[in-house]
Amino acid sequence: MTTLACIGEPISWLRLETFASGRATDPAIASHLAACPACTHCLDEIRGDLVALPVIALPPAAPRRAAWWTWLVPALGLAAAAAIALLVLAPWRGTPGALDREDSVAVKGIGEVIIDVVRERAGVIRGDVRTFAAGDRWKVVVTCPPAGAATFDVDVTEAGGTTPDRPLVPTTLACGNRVVLPGAFTLTGPRRNRVCVTITSREDRGRACVTITPE
């Protein structure tokens, strides 16, 4: 397979993702893309991922086990988030007993924060699973009271490991109902992985986690 080489310094995937979303119009990026087939190919991949994926009808959720993760794939772009958003239509509200679970934490200045993950497999998006196979892509979503805002930092630790990986760039976002964190990654290997999000407000810091197991 032929690999395209950048004509100069490659544009980071994060900058290309922001450019593709229309949130930034950088003349320098546009000029570089006009002359660089390699970076243009990357941009086309991101834009291709911005096509909303089909949403399946989910079965009634079974009692959830903590389950799930491993490597960054700078794919599943920003608009897959639009398809993911279709999975949740109800306004935010606290979940009774949520703070007794590892996927929830109370952060001063924000309130109750719940983290979750969404899996895309062969074009099908599901938010009710905690197992992975080769080729699956994952995004992290958070739910917190809409009046708040925080910085979210994701790290992943494989079972038996001591050093976490950080597959996503830390990001500061306004709270809401199932807010999708930018970026996506895949899970590999024969071991379960623990995905944690550190939530930092102006007054406090908290941490919530989920675990995903291999199929």
> How does pLDDT run across 18-31, given as a tens digit for each residue?
677 665 577 888 88
* Cα(187)–Cα(169) distance, integer angstroms: 17
71-214 CATH fold:
Immunoglobulin-like (2.60.40)
Could you tell me the residue ranges of all domains in the chain?
13-49, 71-214
H-run or E-run covering 61: none
The yes-or-no verdict on residue 51 having pLDDT over 50 is no
- Please provide residue 149's backbone torsions phi and psi, each rounded to the nearest 5 degrees: -150, 150
Per residue in 80-102, pLDDT (tens digit) is: 444 444 443 334 444 444 445 89
Residue 66 has pLDDT above 60, yes or no: no
Question: Which residue's entry shows tokens 């389950």?
Answer: 67
DSSP line for 7-29: SSSPPPHHHHHHHHHTS---HHH
Q: What is the pLDDT of residues 136-168, one digit of tens each?
A: 999 999 999 998 899 999 999 999 888 889 999
- Could you tell me the pTM of the whole model? 0.57
Q: Which amino acid is at 40?
A: T
